Structure 1
């Protein structure tokens, strides 16, 4: 069966460098979608601000109400098989399973890429960019990190488990963003191409 489109899933903890990978593929013509966009639409309908905590809480609420893979389920039908995609903000194993199965059923190829960086480096990035809703207290950062990695609520965020499911892992402990961009260009993108090519051969 001919696989018609490619989707790259991107996962990782806060400030790991996911946006750099997304930007690289956006420049190559991929459509970038965030599962958080579903949550943002809900917050907009409720006239609530897009703070990081509200995004987390509302995402957990949607998973409780519609199932752990709900955000992915809502995205899959919107994918155009004539385009390639990057899907960001994957935070639960069921979202990965929904994407793998749903995209395959639509004759697409899926590769999950995890971006990893050390806790201290991620915190330093967080402080330097000072985005609205980001946590600036180191203790609070660690607390949020723990909840996002492995929430005791099974419907909550489980990013550590998502990272463990990755087909490809890329480390981003670089202080210089250009060095990481070079790694994406010279190494990571090639690994992704090979993975998708091998998967296509196995499934055809």
Structure 2
């Protein structure tokens, strides 16, 4: 049964600015579900430290054990717990996940967040998560791992693209229009 909500899905390479936009949604009282958090929760449940290597291996293991939509299905179930008619899902990686959400939500808007590799590395260096890249080469390797999942194909499918190179306010202005569009879709 379809979830009677409008969903904004965020995708992009690590450090592109998905979290900036997700944080704006939270400020507005819009629930945000993070695909990576589902994998981190599973790692904790299994007693694994949340390192980049463990998260990558566990993500592939979940897909192997439960199918390519393992994380998306868990997110869909979590989305049912919210009363709000609008939610944000942060961190889609594949066309299959996008298709799954398009099929299972009343309306779905895919927002692609883009930024240069250099800008992304600067942001990730400041973020302070244990799985963040330590060098541009690490980031290139991580980008390739994301592409192996299917991220490059998903980036070509965006309903909206936000270039997040300059001041955050510019990206937030563009995201404001996405919120307005989503609210209109819910009417």
2:117 matched residue in structure 1: 119
RMSD of equivalent CA atoms: 2.1
Give 1:181 shift. Answer: 2.9
1:136 matched residue in structure 2: 134
1:188 matched residue in structure 2: 175
1:154 matched residue in structure 2: none
Return 5+ residue gaps in structure 1 as ranges: 152-156
1:50 matched residue in structure 2: 50
Task: Give the TM-score taking structure 1 as reference length.
Answer: 0.81
**Residues 56-87 of structure 1, C-alpha deviations (whole Å, 9 max, x = no match):** 22112111222212211122133236312111
Higher relative contact order (CA 8 A, sep 6+): 2
Secondary structure of the corresponding residue to residue 165 of structure 2: coil
Distance 1:51 1:97 in 2: 29
Return the match for 1:94 from 74, 79, 96.
96
Contact 1:123 1:138 in 2 (8 A): yes
Secondary structure of the corresponding residue to residue 43 of structure 1: helix
Return 5+ residue gaps in structure 2 as ranges: none
**Residues 103-162 of structure 1, C-alpha deviations (whole Å, 9 max, x = no match):** 1xxxx32111111000111112222334322111222221221221x21xxxxx221112
How many positions carry a matched residue from both structures?
183
Task: Give the TM-score taking structure 2 as reference length.
Answer: 0.87
1:79 matched residue in structure 2: 79
Distance 2:182 2:46 in 1: 41
Residue pairs, 1:1-204, within 5 angstroms? 4-80=4-80, 82-83=83-84, 84-103=86-105, 108-148=106-146, 150-151=147-148, 157-174=149-166, 179-184=167-172, 186-194=173-181, 197=184, 199=185
